[in-house]
Amino acid sequence: SLMRMITACRRCFNSDLLSLSLDPSSNRAFVDYALMATYYSAGCVYIVFIATSFHDVINYTTDNDWSVRIYILLTMIPILVIGQIRELKYLVPFSALANLFIVVTFGITLYYIFKDPLEFDDKPLFSSFGALPLFFSTVIFAMEGIGVVMPVENSMAKPQHFLGCPGVLNTAMGTVIVLYAVIGFFGYVRFGELAKGSVTLNLPLKDDLAIAAQILIALAILFTFGLQFYVPMDILWRKIQHKIPKNKHMISQIALRSGIMIIMGGVGLAVPELEPFIGLVGAVFFSSLGLFVPCVVETVFYWPNELGKFRWVLIKNVIFGAFSIFALVAGAYVSIRDIVALYSDDEHDE
């Protein structure tokens, strides 16, 4: 598991390979802070997505003309409540309900995608090389779940079944890849260049079924927020709880969680556009934590005599490490460029 690899990594910090590296405590701190930054940023995206979904539904079905930012403020009300849940066992019902909502939404989305014959001829097979960084960043964001790997493995009755073939991890990720591939590919074939950050936002709001799908996916993301928020808060609280008197732990937790969620809402208010925001978070945080760090850890773990025939482990990790750096730099550049362009267009329209 990743924990065993990190433990082994600590034992290797006297090797020549790591003579220029940080000490073990600094390395652990880097991973901890990277995890916190990653999942706090993902939480910002969650808030924007929930607000955007309700914005589209409510503004379409009523006479309201509120901006997404108003819906972000309204979304913060349930977010502040769910974010106060501190035990995984209390988050399980929310997660189970969210999974049910996602399955139903998945079925509704497939219905709209395949309801009419698909037209392949008018869709370009390849967009442009300039769009690749944003594509890679978005895929990394969608697929990444490194922060919940160890909590899930540690909570299993038989953790040895987590890895291996087929294993819980491979089965779950294989299923997710198939679902994302089907929705992504056929969603693009259906909606083309009009495809939004989430294909559910393309569903026709004139239909009650489409409205139900929008609401269900927004609620699913809302109910999942607590699980995503659990990981960084658990790390942060372990780092600071010894500095706080025990009789003030309760009020300190409430204040700390509320303050962080308010900051996350503020970030969402500053960047309420879903597509470039997802790309930016995926490029900066998920590419480094989900690709670069595992490559370094695995290389250190097997260095220097267990890198396989022709040192294929090292070659593989160099390739993936280079790809993660490319995704970070190019993806961040394209996402920031798109965000700046969106704000420039808004100012021009005004």
User: Taking 90 as the threshold, does the pLDDT of residue 290 lie above it?
Assistant: no
Instruction: Give the closest residue to 141 by CA, choosing from 7, 343, 332, 336.
Output: 332
Distance separating alpha carbons of residues 210 and 207, to the nearest angstrom: 5
Q: Hey, how many other C-beta atoms are within 10 angstroms of the C-beta on 204? A: 10
For residues 127 and 176, the model is more confident at 176
Residue 163, H or E segment? none
Higher-scoring residue by pLDDT: 150, 185: 185
Handedness of CA 321, 10, 148, 32 (dihedral sign): negative
Answer whether residue 337 shows pLDDT above 90.
no
How far is it, in rounded angstroms, from Cα 187 to Cα 101? 19
* Average pLDDT rounded to a whole number, residues 229-256: 90
Long-range contacts, 117-123 (Cβ 8 Å, 24+):
118/186, 118/189, 118/190, 119/189, 120/189, 122/192, 123/188, 123/189, 123/192
Confidence of residue 9 (pLDDT cuts 50, 70, 90): very low
| 126: amino acid identity, one letter | F
Give the HSE-up count for residue 339: Cα atoms under 13 Å, Cβ half-sphere: 20
Q: What integer pLDDT is reported at residue 188 of this predicted model? A: 85
Average pLDDT of the segment spanning 73-79: 95
Higher pLDDT, 289 or 109: 109
Check pLDDT > 70 for residue 13.
Answer: no
The pLDDT of 121-129, averaged and rounded, is 73
Span between the terminal Cα atoms of the chain, in Å = 53
Whether the pLDDT of residue 255 is over 90: the answer is: yes
Tell me, what's the pLDDT at 2? 43
- What mean pLDDT, rounded, does the chain reach? 79
244 within some domain: yes
Flag whether 334 is in a domain.
no
Q: 206-226, pLDDT tens digit by residue? A: 888 989 999 999 999 999 898
pLDDT at residue 254, rounded to an integer: 93
pLDDT band at 339 (very low <50, low <70, confident <90, very high): confident
Q: Is position 245 within any domain?
A: yes
Identity of the amino acid at 265: G
Query: Using an 8 Å Cβ cutoff, are 313 and 272 in contact?
Result: no
Average pLDDT, integer, range 261-271: 90
Per-residue b or e along 110-129, where b marks 16 or more CB atoms closer than 10 Å to that residue's CB: eebbeeeeeeeeeeeeeeee
Residue 213 falls inside a structural domain: yes
Dihedral in degrees, nearest 10, Cα atoms 207, 208, 214, 215: 160
Residue 222: inside a domain, yes or no?
yes
pLDDT tens, 151-207? 666 666 676 666 667 777 777 778 878 888 888 888 888 888 777 777 888 888 888
> Is residue 300 assigned to a domain?
no
Q: Considering the domain boundaries, does residue 292 fall inside one?
A: no
Name the percent of the chain lying above pLDDT 70. Answer: 78
Residue with tokens 């790809």: 323
Stretch 7-35: mean pLDDT, rounded?
Answer: 57
Checking if the pLDDT of 315 tops 50, the result is yes
User: Domain range spanning residue 144?
Assistant: 24-270
Residues 275, 197 contacting (CB under 8 angstroms): yes
Q: Under 8 Å CB-to-CB from 30, ≥6 apart: which residues?
A: 22
Q: Is residue 349 part of a domain?
A: no
Q: How far is Cα 121 from Cα 226, in angstroms, rounded to an integer? A: 43
Q: Is 77 helix (H, G, I), strand (E, B) or coil?
A: helix
Q: Which of the two residues, 12 and 339, has the higher pLDDT score?
A: 339
The pLDDT of residue 4: 43
pLDDT in tens, 26-72: 667 777 887 888 788 888 888 998 999 999 999 988 888 899 999 99
The lowest-confidence range among 163-172, 249-258, 327-336 is: 163-172
pLDDT-wise least confident of 88-92, 278-282, 288-292: 278-282
Q: Which of the two residues, 76 and 307, has the higher pLDDT score?
A: 76
With a cut of 70, say whether residue 12 has pLDDT above it.
Answer: no
Query: What type of residue is 89?
Result: K
pLDDT beyond 70 at 345: no
User: What domain count does the chain have?
Assistant: 1
Residue 236's Cβ-side half-sphere holds a number of Cα atoms within 13 Å equal to 19
Q: Are 222 and 81 in contact (CB under 8 A)?
A: no
Per-residue confidence (pLDDT) for residue 15, from 0 to 100: 47
pLDDT score, position 44: 87
Q: Among the listed ranges 10-14, 111-115, 123-127, which one has the minimum average pLDDT value?
A: 10-14
Q: pLDDT confidence of 120, banded at 50, 70, 90?
A: confident
